[in-house]
Structures are given as C-alpha cells and as structure tokens.
Amino acid sequence: MSVNLEVKGTLARLLATEDLLVEHKNVSTASFNVQSRVLTLPRWEKASNNVFNLLIAHEVAHALFTPNEDWRKKTKVPQGFVNVTEDVRIEVLMKKKYVGLPKTFFRGYHELHDQDFFGIADEDVAAMNIADRVNLHFKIGNFIKVPFTSSEMVVVDQCAAAVTFDDALAAAEALYALHEQQKEEQKQTGDEDASSSPEGTEEPQGKDGGEGEEPEEGPSDSEGESSEGGSPQEEDGESDEQGESMESRDDEIGGGDTAGNLTDNVSTMENFNENLEDMATTNTYNQPLYLTYPSFSAAKYIASNKEIHEYINSSFERQREFFYNTNPENADYFIKTLFGGYDKNFNEFKRNIQSEVNYMVKEFECRKSASAYSRSSTSRTGVLDCTKLHTYKYNEDIFKKVTTLPEGKNHGLVFVLDWSGSMCHILEDTIKQLLSIVMFCDKVNIPFEVYAFTNEWNRDNANYYTNSDIPNELVVGDEFSMMNILTSTVNRKELLRQMETIFMIASSYTTRGGNIVPSRVGLSGTPLNEALITLRKILPDFQQRNNVEKAHVMVLTDGEASWTRYTTEIESYDGQTKISVGRLGHQNGYLRNRVTGTVRKIDKEKLCGVTSTILEDLRFEFPQTTFTGFRILEKRGGWFVRQAVGYDDAQIAKWKKEKTIALTNAGYNKYYIVDSDTVQESAEFDVDEGATKAKIKSAFSKSLKSKKNNKKVLSDFISLIA
C-alpha cells in the first residue's frame, strides 16, 4: 500500500504539538534527536496505513515523554526490561493524551499480531519469561490470553500505573527482580528433579501427577488461549466455576521445567524489532536528503543602491581621468564619443517609451477603477433628494444615496534581474523592458526595488568551502550579491540618472566597441536560486519599510539556475567528521521550511525542479505576494518550450505563432516565455525614404505585431497589480 510520507510527517508534528523536524530515511530503526528535535522515521513502505499510524504514534510518544538522560547510572537492569516498561508507560500516556489513539493502537497491533511480528506462533506464551508476557499483554493482549500469577499481577499493575520515567525504571527493577526470582526457583526445581532421579533410571512419562513429569505443550485453540500441563486451558468462566485461583497456578507459569531455561532476553521485543527492520527500506542508494534554509542577515548579501552607484560613478570618473592623462589633446573627443553616444541613445529611448508607459498607466487606472467599483456599496442616507421630489407619486426611492468605495491595498514591486554572462546579447533590450515598467511605477507612485543577482560584486570573498557547522543546509556563497541597482527611495532626478547609468552599462555589451563596465558590476554566473533564497529576508523588510500589503516579484532571466550547493557531513582521512559542500544534483531531496513547517519534495522531473520548489515554498510563506517570471528564450530554444508545455501540440503551435507563452507549472504564479527576437524587435514604424509599397507594408505589419505582443504581456502584468 502506498503511503503519503508528507502526510505522515504532518501527523507526527500534530501529535507532538510542536514543529518537529520529521525525516523519512532509508534506515532500519526510528530515532529522535532531543537537541535538534529531529524525528527520523524509517521508510516503512511495506506497512499498511494502520501500522504506519501506530508506529508514528509510538515514536512521537518517545519524543514527548522519554527524557534525554543516561538511565544506566540509576539502575543495572538489562535494557530489554527497561524498554518493556517504558513502552507501556509512553503508550498509556499517549492514549490518555489523544482519546482517538486507542483505536489506532488496536488496529495496528491487530495487523502486526496477524503477521506474527512478535514471533509467538510456535511458542507457549505461558512458558515465556515475565518481561515477554508483560510486553505481549500490553500490546496484543486483546487478541491472545496472557496468563499471570497473583504475584506477577502486582508488577503488571505497577507497569500500568507508571507516569514518570523514574516510575518506569522502578517497574523495570521490580520486573527484573521477579524474573531473577523465577530463574532461581527454576534452578532449584531443576536441581531437586536431578537429585531425585537415580542415574540410569528412566523417568515415568505420560502419567498425570507423576513425579518428574514434563507437561506437554498443547496447541493454542481458536480463541488464542495457550495450553498448560498437557491439557487445554479453560476459559475464564469455567475457571471461576471450578474455583481455580491465580495462586494455584504459580508453579505452572513462568518457571519450573515447564518454562525451559529462562533468560534475560526479551525475545518478543527482539522479534518485533527484527520484523520491523525487514519492513523498512534500508537501501542507502539515493538516500533522502532533507535540506533547510541557511540563517543569515540580509545586509550580508545586499549591495546597497548608494554603494553601487558611488562605485560606478567613481569608475567612470577614473576612465575620464585616464583619457585626460594619456591623451589630453583628444580626451574630449573620446569621452564625448564614448559616453555621449550612450546619453543620446538613452534620451531617444525615453521619448520612444512614453507611449508604452502611458498605455500602462491608462490600463492600470481603468482596472483599478473597475476593481474599486466592483467592491463598492451603495446605501440610503435618510435625507430627501430634492431633485426626485416631483416623482413621489410613482417612485418610492426619493432619498439621497451614498456610495462607499473600500480602500485598495498598497502594492509594491521587487524586480530580480539576471546579471549573468549569457544575458549580454539581450541585456540592453531586457533593461529597456525593465526601465519602461520602472517609469510606470514612478508615474503611479508604486514603490519598487530592482536587484541584479551576481557573483562578481563580492568575487574577492569567494569561498567554495563553508564555515557552517550545520549539515544539510542550502549554501549561499560569500561571493553572491543582490545589487540594488534601482530604487524608488531616491528622488526623480536621481532615479533618471541611475536609469541612464544602468542603460549605459547594458548598452556597452551590445556595442562591444567601448566596454565601460566596472569590474565589480560585470556579468557572472546564474545564482538564481540563491537570489530566491535571499527574498525571504528582502520581502518582509520591503513590505514593512514601504507599508506594502501586496508585493509583486518579477524575475527576469534567460536560463536555469547554476548548481545549488548544500552542506554535508563527510569523514576525513583521519577519521574525523567535518562539514563540506556538495552539489544538489540527482539526489532524492526535500526542502524543509522551519517558519511554515512545510516539507516539499524536490521533483527532479519537474521543470526547473529546485527553482520551482523554492518558488512554491516562497508563495506559501508569502501568500500576499505574487511571483511572475520572464524567461527570455535564446535562439534554438524551442526544445525548452516543448518540454515546458509537456509536448502539447496546441501550446507549441501557439508559441510558433505568437513567440510568447504563459505557463503556471514552473513555481511562479505566471511564467512568461518570450522569444529573444521578440524582445529585440522595435515597435516603431520606421522605413527608409523612397521605400517601396511592399517594404512599407512589411514594416507597418511588423510594427503592429510587435505592439500587439508588447501590449498583451503588459496587460497581463497590469492585471496582476491593479
């Protein structure tokens, strides 16, 4: 039977009434780390739902009630006896804590008894030692009859009454003392039998009451009752009628020759554990890996807006000084040619983008008004409307009305920009799209922050090892940074200057003729997953600082994330255990969030598996935030679209026609895939003088198509935030 391990993990946390860390691993036995509060459960894939629930309830009971102490300093009782009395104690306490659990224990132990988990099918229960019988009595006593003498019942009652762990130890000591007493009695009986039988003389067999007789073990009847002394054990009612007392059977239970040789082993507990190990999956290949988020401060990875632009401006100034120092005669020409060209292009871009920005503003205001109207309420005021008094004969509604418009939520945008080397050919066009949205936000007073994720800003801090002493944590390297390249916290004049600076840097990658990019803001790898992890710190701060109720995150990238790293325990050459860094590849991974208490399987078969899992977790942790992705697809990237849409012919045909498609299966609320050629297409109607009618028609159609595609994406974007 297939069991949902995630649901069982949630059950364990609910039973424990705390946010336990539950890990299902390929181990033979369950364990609980009291310090880290990690409950490790075997993957009992052969267990039924009833048995799984029983085992979880039992292990959670240990987590709740068994203290973390070395009890061997208090008593010399064998561990098997302590295990028996402690199991009795915690299960009794668990059943009292949750009134529905007795039925769970009943069903689970019933199935385990039917499968002979305790290994008693061919055994005489009455001949077992006292610890085995106590273990059976409290676990499967509903299904078999376990006999006890009156002196044994005193210890049984003591086990049942144990409340604290010290009570369980005291019960274990009493249990072991009784066991030792029965062993001694058995030894004495054996010595007496040996001395009363002359050597070489055959002992009489098969006669009732004969001296030295060894009673046969009769088979158990259908009621689960064992046989003693060669005759079937009578039912309780018949025993009462005959007046048989518990004392009259003292010599027949748990001692004498009937029981054989008593040992200190609790065989029923050993059999149960062995069968439980057989039920668990212990194959260490592809062992489940439970990962958690690292603990860090946002300031460690965020390069402030002021710091970024001060560095860029000083770098530009040094470049100008270089021209004056090396070639003073032509310095003005070179500076004007290099920087002046970018200034001209940016001013032209601002003029051309105004129509697009105005369209977004108009669309935003329309949708906002429609949304407000749909939530408005109209009510009468009780004051006469003088303009309607003349209609009093045929109109009852002659009172003034008031329309109440509820206040809308405050919105804010956080942009996450891919600053990787593969973006160089389309970075300028991507920045143009970004700046148009930034200008829109500035015009309608929506707070925003733009972060570019990179490994270059702090490249000197690169460390491919780890200083962490916690295993199984996702790693955000010291070289990683979120560069805050644009922000709404500066005034409009400063914002335009910063926009021009970013435009210049992006354009320099396209022109190639004069790369003016300062080294620390150069393009790098694609630490997308690290950027998403840092959003867990950035978003709460952004919402609090700007009084934002609903935030929107827009991620602009052209590819998948780089390898995700995590800390792992390894054994070094000297036998010492240390923390190292591994890559998250094809492992059977799970992502655990201590804030929300969720555990998510990292589905490697899913589109961008690790990234999708982190995004789904972010959406759950920040339910008032929408996450929108823009994947700018490189040339010959049709394979990605086919894979993303699950080879759906209709979706593929739509992509080929529109070169834009929106998905909802990649972790984002919406994931737009846009062809890079579409991003680079100009929406301006521009033809050469003297162009033929065919060229004019072609240019006009191309302009309309580009505008149509842009407006479709922009309309979808506006619908998210209006």
What's the pLDDT tens digit per position in 132-152? 999 999 999 999 999 999 999
In a shared domain, residues 529 and 588: yes
3-class DSSP state of 570: strand
Which has the higher per-residue pLDDT, 204 or 710? 710
The answer to whether residue 4 scores a pLDDT higher than 60 is yes
Pairing of strands 231-232, 227-228: antiparallel
Range ranked top by mean pLDDT from 43-52, 385-394, 415-424, 649-658: 415-424
d(CA 555, CA 166): 58
- With contact defined as beta carbons under 8 Å apart, do 722 and 367 qualify? yes
Residue 332, C-beta contacts closer than 8 angstroms, at least 6 positions apart: none
Choose the weakest-confidence range: 119-128, 394-403, 526-535: 394-403
pLDDT at 400: 63
Kind and range of the H or E run holding 114: helix 101-114
Domain total for the chain?
2
Asked whether residue 158 is assigned to any structural domain, the reply reads yes
Same domain, 517 and 565: yes
- Number of Cβ atoms within 10 Å of the Cβ of 491: 9
pLDDT for 685 equals 43
List the CATH number of the domain containing 553.
Answer: 3.40.50.410
Tokens describing residue 141? 């006593």
Q: How far apart are CA 292 and CA 593, in angstroms?
A: 6
> What rounded mean pLDDT belongs to the chain?
78
DSSP letters for 1-48: ----HHHHHHHHHHHHTS--EEEEES-SS-EEETTTTEEEEE--TT--
Query: How far is residue 388's CA from residue 597's CA, in Å, rounded to a whole number?
Result: 61
Asked whether residue 707 carries a pLDDT value surpassing 50, the answer given is yes
Same domain, 261 and 296: no
State residue 692's pLDDT score: 62
Rounded to an integer, what distance in angstroms lies between the CA atom of residue 238 and that of residue 133? Answer: 23
Q: What is the DSSP string of 220-262?
A: P-TT-PPEETTEEPPPHHHHHHHT--SGGGTTTSSSTGGG-S-
Please check whether residue 592 is in contact with residue 21, taking contact to mean a CB–CB distance below 8 angstroms: yes
CA distance linking residue 376 with residue 697, whole number of Å: 47
Domain contains 198: no
Q: Is residue 211 part of a domain?
A: no
CA-atom Rg of the chain in angstroms: 39
List the domain range (segments joined by +) for residue 58: 5-193+216-228+244-279
Nearest CA among 623, 607, 583 for reference residue 673: 607
Buried b or exposed e, range 118-148, using 16+ CB within 10 angstroms: bebeebbbbbbbbbbbbbbbbbbeeebbbbb
Whether residues 17 and 67 fall in one domain: yes
Range with top average pLDDT, 274-283, 337-346, 513-522, 554-563: 554-563
Residues 532 and 462 in one domain: yes
Do both 318 and 223 map to the same domain? Answer: no
What's the average model confidence in pLDDT over 471-479?
88
pLDDT tens column, 294-325: 988 888 899 999 999 999 999 888 877 877 77
3-state SS class at 144: coil
Q: Which residue has better confidence, 443 or 308?
A: 308
Assess whether 632 and 669 both reside in one domain.
yes
State whether 135 and 172 are in the same domain: yes
Residues 561 and 486 in one domain: yes
Q: Does the global pTM surpass 0.75? A: no
Give the integer Cα–Cα distance in Å for 22 and 9.
Answer: 6
SS3 for 100-113, per residue?
Answer: CHHHHHHHHHHHHH
Q: Give me the pLDDT at residue 245, please.
A: 38
Task: Please return the burial class of 428, using the count of CB atoms within 10 Å of its CB with bins 0-12, 13-18 and 19+.
Answer: buried
- Cβ distance 642 to 660 under 8 Å? no
Q: What is the DSSP letter of 384?
A: E
d(CA 408, CA 364): 13
Burial status of residue 372 (CB atoms within 10 A of its CB: 0-12, 13-18, 19 or more): middle
The pLDDT assigned to 367 comes to 67
Identify residue 366 by its one-letter amino acid code. C
Q: Distance between CA 680 and CA 672 in Å, rounded?
A: 16
Considering the domain boundaries, does residue 209 fall inside one? Answer: no
The set of residues, in sequence order, having a beta carbon less than 8 Å from that of 325 and lying 6+ positions away, is: none
15-38 average pLDDT score: 77
Q: Is 595 part of any domain? A: yes
Supply the DSSP symbol for 524: B
| C-beta neighbour count of 700 within 10 angstroms | 12
Q: Which of 352, 345, 296 is nearest to 533 (CA)?
A: 296
- 10 Å CB burial of residue 618 (0-12, 13-18, 19+) is buried
Task: Supply the pLDDT for residue 705.
Answer: 52
Does residue 634 surpass a pLDDT of 80? no
**pLDDT at 159 exceeding the cut of 50:** yes
* Measured distance CA(625)–CA(620) in Å, rounded: 9
Q: Answer yes or no: do 316 and 272 share one domain.
A: no
Check whether residue 340 and residue 258 sit in a common domain. no
Give the residue with greater pLDDT, 390 vs 89: 89
Cα–Cα distance for residue pair 135/80, rounded to 1 Å: 10
The answer as to whether 608 is a domain residue is yes
Amino acid at 160: A
Let me know if residue 388 belongs to a domain: no
Q: What is the 3-state secondary structure (H, E, C) of 195-228?
A: HHCCCCCCCCCCCCCCCCCCCCCCCCCCCCCCEE
- Say if 286 falls within a structural domain: no
DSSP strand pairing (227-228 vs 289-292): unpaired
pLDDT, tens digit, 9 for 90 and up, residues 683-705: 454 545 556 656 555 654 555 45
Look at residue 278 and give its three-state secondary structure.
helix
Instruction: Decide: 101 and 54 in contact? Cβ < 8 Å.
Output: no
Q: What per-residue confidence (pLDDT) applies to 93?
A: 95
> Are residue 261 and residue 302 in the same domain, yes or no?
no
